A = this chain, B = another copy of it.
Amino acid sequence: MKFRSLLAFSILSFGFSSLVAADEFTTKQIEQVKQVREAALESDLSWQLLSSLTTEVGPRLPGTENDKKAVAWAQDKFKKLGFDKVWIEEATFPEWRRYHESAKIILPSEQPLHLTALGNSVSTPKDGLTGEIVLFETLDELIAAPANSLKGKIAFINYRMNRHVDGNGYGPAVRARNSGAVEAAKKGAIAYMMRSVSTSHHRFAHTGGSHYKEGVTKIPSTAVANPDADQLARLVDAGHKVKVALNIQTEDLGQGTSYNVIGEFTGTQFPEQYVLIGGHLDSWDLGTGALDDGAGVALTMAAAKHIADVKRPKRSIRVVLFAAEELGLWGAKAYFEKHKNDLGNIVAAAESDFGADVVYGFESRVNAASLPAVREIAKQLAPLNVTYIGKNSANGGPDLIPLKNATSAPQLAPLNVTYIGKNSANGGPDLIPLKNATSAPIFALHQDGTDYFDYHHTADDTLDKVDPAKLKQNTAAYAVFALMAADAKTKLSGK
């Protein structure tokens, strides 16, 4: 999955261009794809957009002044880039703010704790609260604790997230974020702390959505940085009574409003049909949302522009920058609800929302009749070191397809690449409503997520964490994918 010598690959593949003629694309179309790919690999447009968004706007918590600035920023950039249509669509969401957070160990010795409130957390009393921590390894261990056993205490779950290229350690770790506070409150806890859902060994606490339950007392819900979680665990191991002071001030502001920002280059033959690419415009408030998801915003905007610089394809290219993803996919829900009667116009959909490391895999979820075109797209992604991930079933579910199934992916052989058994493509979080609503053709351009959770949802998610060369590769991959999906002879369809 290393990103090496892209240019060499591209030049090499160029020599064989006349050999890749296929029913779905003319030789001329393939030449145009290559032209777009080369332009995207050379251009720093996606970097310029990302730098501007994360620097001049900065953090973009839904409903804040900066969120409004981001909406204006996106419209302005779409227009300046020459998109044929630019518009916004309203989305509402439960608005929440973080005002203050501080914490320290007060026994056995005073030490600062690097801690953050989880999204949606209630406040502590104004002067904070103090309590002894009770350590659990897992959410299940907390759930199994005796009734009332946490009365006056602070529950602390020290579950460690695993590092993996596809981020599969995130889901299991997020369980404790979603319902830890509820389960702790049921046992009488006055506050909830968890080890960050993060692979970082730096002192950054990781925020993210959390939830309360009707009828269960709402207690402050927080995460500590991993070195601080280690410190708490060592103190408990050494037999100390560990007492912590915590002050969290947040506010639930009721229903807020923001906007999906949409830019489109209009197709020449079937303008109502469109390829949907995009990311989410909002971010958490701690960092500047460079990896999550400034990168997705910037690279999909740039990819569309690189296509339009060469041609308007048969079908439209629509870049959707979703609102309020972090608070619960609110922009995506609004988008797919609003467009529910014409989702059949979507010929391909892919969201970039997994950082900015290289795209290493390309996966589809389409009707069998669309597979020849998909394989042609995969061939044009191969020079970017993107592997085509064949699969037999669109409903692969959460389990890995065993490597023994590799033989059922014969199309891989000519590309000389390794078959990677994977989950079914789901196209990014904002496409979940789409996947649930329709049999739309969804694609995943899998990014290497090995380091993503070192930064994701922390103060450390800043521009310097993005490698400009990798961002270019991402942009090129999206440009190739979107152009070909929009320009194929056959309209791609879902299954």
> Which residues of A come within 8 Å of B, CB atoms?
51-52, 55-59, 65-66, 69, 105, 108-112, 114, 201-204, 226-227, 230-231, 234-235, 238, 240, 285-288, 459-460, 462-465
Contact = CB atoms under 8 A, between A and B. Distances in A.
Given A66-B110, A66-B111, 6 more contacts: A55-B231, A58-B110, A66-B109, A112-B286, A114-B459, A203-B460
A403 B110 CA distance: 49
Nearest to A104: B58
Contact of A238 (B56, B230, B240, B465): B56
A56 B464 contact: no
Contacts of A287: 203
Contacts of A69: 109
A80 to B, nearest CB: 15
Contact of A203 (B66, B227, B240, B462): B462
A201 B464 contact: yes
A56 B238 CA distance: 9
Contacts of A459: 112, 114, 203
B235 A56 contact: yes
A21 to B, nearest CB: 46
B109 A231 contact: no
B111 A59 contact: yes
Given A238-B55, A462-B203, A231 B288 contact: yes
A462 B233 CA distance: 14
A117 B227 CA distance: 23
A227 B464 CA distance: 7
A26 B464 CA distance: 57
A51 B230 CA distance: 11
11 contacts: A57-B109, A58-B105, A59-B112, A65-B109, A66-B109, A66-B111, A114-B459, A202-B460, A203-B459, A227-B462, A227-B464
